Chains A and B, each alone.
Chain A
Amino acid sequence: MRKWKTVGLWLCAFLLQGCELIEYHPYDTRIEGETGLTAKNVRLIEEKTRGKREFRFAMISDTQRRYDETEEVVDLLNRRGDIDFVLHGGDVADFGETKEFLWSRDFLNKLHMPYVCLLGNHDCLGTGFDVYLKVFGEDNFAFTAGNVRFICLNTNALEYDYSHPVPNFDFMERELRDWPEGVEKTVVAMHVPPGDDEFNNNVELAFEAYVTSFPGLQFCLFGHQHSFQEKDYFGDGVMYYGCTTIGKRGYYVITIKEEGYEIERCSF
């Protein structure tokens, strides 16, 4: 009789411990914990920067399978205390597996300031895109920080094989049409820059035409290429700034000023 009690106890302990160990498949899209992060953080960013004409944000990118460095940079940005929000340039996952998104979310949630995450090409693998939509939100989104509209775009055309509009010109058109009152400047952010193998280069000129039609365009930001870059890609005076991977221990700190902006390459 006692033997059975012991077995029962062991079984209970085992089952309790077991709950965390249950995975139906690496791509099962079974999500526990917080979802809809983009919508929540966009609200926080807009509240925090409302009425400001000067503010500062950080950009990190390509944190896939680099949780050590992600943890470090989160700590570092928290300690700085002068960052209003963080922009993640995409690729939070490497294989597109469900748990990679959840691990990344949990590390990034330790930021004391709101953050938004772009969609990277690695985030699209397997069922990654479904998980991204649930955990973060839409792949194309925009928000207003102070007097600047941030247009965040999915540019990972190669992942979709024409099954999904990438880049989404309808979205850009809608943004232009429903331009919020009082917003004077624009920053366009994307994971893959024009000219990259992953970009739909057939439409790069159309893309640039849309990008340059945004009011007070300041510059474009991208990730993906795992190195710091600075180029006037179309030769039309629009600067494209590439943020390196967190694995190379670098990030940007960008200050939007009354007149112009400052962009600083930081390493740790």
Chain B
Amino acid sequence: MRLSVVLFSLCLALLPSRAGAQEMGAQADSARTRYEKMMTRRMEMWQRLIPDHYKMQFAGSIGMVSLGTGWTYGKKKQWETDLMFGFLPKFESEHHKLVFTVKQSYVPWRLRIGESAWIVQPLSCSLFLSSVLNDKFWTREPDRYPKGYYGFSTRIRANLSLGQRIMFDIPDVSDWLVQDISLFYELGACDTDFCTFFGDRSIKFKEILSLAVGVKVHI
């Protein structure tokens, strides 16, 4: 369901931009009409929906391996939004599972190492929601339960994480096809983990932490 929404938006973003480009070429010299201005604006708006980075991540409570795409934006490219799909092998359970994740990150600083192409991003803060795409899990309790019987969702987990990155800022993009590549790690915990941790002294903070490592390719 969610995937189709994303794909549909992508198609919308691509289609008008092609059509618009042909028209613009034909009337390049003449003054722009109101219609053309509107079309340009519309094109630019939809083009923003084209994702500009890809991510691959190992672990981190959203699957064993996750692949995702998203947007890097902001004046200093400090904001990031990701859509990710994680693969969760079945281990002791009946089926393999897919986990869908929406992630919002804030990466406030970029520190270049000397004159080199390497950039350190000493902090990244992320908030993400993950959903297990399996009908054994519920967002709201099924009707058979009395109202508020469990009072939480087994399907959706809200996580917080902090991490660091090292980025290789590619000097001449024209030969490389990508702007930069970063390696990152993050340490996070989810809502139920915090619930356990704050209700109990015997569970140490280290025990609720979950590590993720991954790579981001910015086109």
Give residues in A with beta carbon < 8 Å to B: 14, 18, 20-31, 65-68, 70-71, 94-97, 99-100, 103, 107, 122, 125-127, 130-131, 133-134, 158, 161, 197
CB A175 to nearest CB in B, in angstroms, measures: 27
Give the residues in chain B near A65, CB-CB below 8 Å: 195-196, 199-200
CA distance A31 to B91 in the complex (A): 8
Q: Would A28 and B157 be within 8 Å (CB), given that A21-B210, A65-B200, A161-B144 are in contact? A: no
CA distance A24 to B96 in the complex (A): 12
Are B200 and A67 in contact, CB atoms less than 8 angstroms apart? yes
Are A130 and B93 in contact, CB atoms less than 8 angstroms apart? yes
What 1/0 mask marks residues of chain B from 49 to 61 whose CB sits below 8 Å from any chain A CB? 0000000000111
Give the residues in chain B near A125, CB-CB below 8 Å: 150, 154
Q: What range describes how many residues of B lie at the interface?
A: 35 or more
CA distance A28 to B87 in the complex (A): 11
B25 at the interface (CB under 8 A from A): no
Give the residues in chain A near B94, CB-CB below 8 Å: 130
Give the residues in chain A near B88, CB-CB below 8 Å: 24-25, 28
CA distance A177 to B66 in the complex (A): 52
Are B144 and A21 in contact, CB atoms less than 8 angstroms apart? no
Instruction: Give 5 nearest A-B pairs by CB, closest first.
Output: A21-B211, A67-B202, A29-B92, A23-B210, A29-B91
Within 8 A of A (CB), among B83-102: 86, 88-94, 97, 99
CB A60 to nearest CB in B, in angstroms, measures: 15
Are A31 and B92 in contact, CB atoms less than 8 angstroms apart? yes
Give the residues in chain B near A158, CB-CB below 8 Å: 144-145
Give residues in B with beta carbon < 8 Å to A: 59-64, 86, 88-94, 97, 99, 130, 132, 136-137, 142, 144-146, 149-150, 152, 154, 157, 185, 187, 190, 192-193, 195-196, 199-203, 206-207, 209-211, 213
Which chain B residue lies CB-closest to A131? Answer: B92
CA distance A18 to B209 in the complex (A): 10
Are B59 and A95 in contact, CB atoms less than 8 angstroms apart? no
Are A107 and B202 in contact, CB atoms less than 8 angstroms apart? yes
CA distance A71 to B202 in the complex (A): 8
Counting residue pairs across A and B whose Cβ atoms lie within 8 Å, the total is 100
Are B61 and A25 in contact, CB atoms less than 8 angstroms apart? yes
CA distance A130 to B185 in the complex (A): 30
Complex A-B: 21 CB contacts under 8 Å? A18-B211, A20-B206, A21-B187, A24-B59, A24-B61, A24-B86, A24-B88, A25-B97, A25-B132, A26-B157, A26-B192, A27-B154, A67-B202, A68-B200, A94-B196, A97-B192, A100-B196, A122-B150, A126-B136, A126-B137, A158-B144
CA distance A197 to B149 in the complex (A): 10
Give the residues in chain B near A70, CB-CB below 8 Å: 202
CB B85 to nearest CB in A, in angstroms, measures: 13
CB A33 to nearest CB in B, in angstroms, measures: 13
Give the residues in chain B near A71, CB-CB below 8 Å: 202
Which chain A residue lies CB-closest to B87? Answer: A24
Are B62 and A25 in contact, CB atoms less than 8 angstroms apart? yes
Are A95 and B152 in contact, CB atoms less than 8 angstroms apart? yes
Give the residues in chain B near A27, CB-CB below 8 Å: 93, 132, 137, 154
Are A23 and B202 in contact, CB atoms less than 8 angstroms apart? no
CA distance A24 to B152 in the complex (A): 20
CA distance A94 to B152 in the complex (A): 11
CB B79 to nearest CB in A, in angstroms, measures: 26
Other-chain contact of A130, B86, B92, B150, B193 (Cβ < 8 Å): B92
